[in-house]
Amino acid sequence: MRLRNVPGSREAIADSPLAVNEPVLLKGNWSKEFGNGHPVRIEIGMGKGKFITTLAQQNPDINYVGIEKYSSVLIRAIEKCKELDVPNLRFIRMDAEYICDVFEKGEVDRIYLNFSDPWPKDRHVKRRLTSKQFFQRYDAILKEDGIVEFKTDNDSLFQFSLEQVAEAEWHLTEQTWDLHRDERLMKGNVMTEYEEKFSAMGNPIHKLIAGR
Ligand code: SAM
């Protein structure tokens, strides 16, 4: 994702009712924030937010939290939602490394990772959102039957992710190297911004679903 500094984005995020500015205060209290006990699903690295915003509109009985590291990216998602009525959607600007400070054990029902940064250098392996270190964090916040869904067009990141699921002692419930040709797994698929871009270029999209 090309990052351009957007002047005033931090201030605009702080003022938005969609953004949670002190997410650590909501650890264990997300049902109060949403005013209901509906399941909470999160997307980590949501970029401009098309995927999670669409899901929130389609499923009013599920709560969604989008997490994005950069304010210059998050502000785009917030701007797009201004005119929409999505009471079941919140955004957090934070590094997912600190996810366990924000959600209590069992508080999250599902985690979506879409076109996560590949971090190709060996010394950056732990930064990959599908590394076993991240699976440990997901283990600490997901409910017992919670799942992680991951999509990418990056072959080596996908192969790495399949191996990390096994290393973390999780198991795969689904995997495909060509999602868009898999009629069953495509049912209800919501495309992300990157998915639209890369599939239009002819890149096969890979997907896995993992649980414990
Ligand atoms: N998910 C979107 C899509 O599929 O169109 C955006 C994909 S983009 C390649 C990856 C996004 O993840 C970027 O916006 C980046 O800032 C964000 N990101 C990467 N590492 C992150 C982290 N540790 N915590 C939160 N966001 C992160």
pLDDT digits 0-9 by tens, 4-22: 677 788 888 988 999 999 9
Q: What angle do CA 42, 177, 168 make, to 5 degrees?
A: 55
Pocket flag, ligand 1, residue 72 (CB < 6 Å): no
CB 116 within 8 A of CB 150: yes
- pLDDT above 60: residue 131: yes
Determine the atom of ligand 1 nearest the C-alpha atom of 50.
5
The pLDDT of residue 146 is: 98
Q: How far apart are CA 91 and CA 111, in angstroms?
A: 14
Q: What is the pLDDT of residue 1?
A: 52
**157-186, pLDDT tens digit by residue?**
999 999 999 999 999 999 999 999 999 999
pTM of the model: 0.96
pLDDT at 8: 82
Residue 169 CA, ligand 1 centroid: distance in Å: 25
- Mean pLDDT score, 46-72: 97
pLDDT digits (tens, 9 = 90+) for 26-47: 999 999 999 999 999 999 999 9
User: Does residue 87 surpass a pLDDT of 60?
Assistant: yes
Find out whether the beta carbon of 67 lies less than 6 Å from any atom of ligand 1.
yes
CA of 129 relative to ligand 1 center, distance in Å: 9
Identify the residue whose C-alpha is closest to ligand 1 atom 19. 45
Give residue 2's pLDDT band: very low, low, confident or very high (50, 70, 90): low
* pLDDT value of position 7: 77
Average pLDDT of the chain to the nearest whole number: 96
Answer whether 73 contacts ligand 1 (Cβ < 6 A): yes
Ligand 1 mean position, distance from CA 96 (Å): 10
pLDDT surpassing 60 at residue 3: no
pLDDT over 70 percentage in the chain: 98
47 close to ligand 1 (CB < 6 Angstrom): yes
Distances 201 to 115, 127, 156, 172, 204 between C-alpha atoms, Å: 15, 27, 18, 28, 9
Residue 123 has pLDDT above 90, yes or no: yes
Task: Please report where in the chains the tokens 């198991």 appear, as a residue.
Answer: 171
- CB-count burial class (<10 Å; 0-12, 13-18, 19+) for 199: middle
Calculate mean pLDDT across residues 88-94.
97
Measure 47 CA to ligand 1 centroid, in angstroms: 5
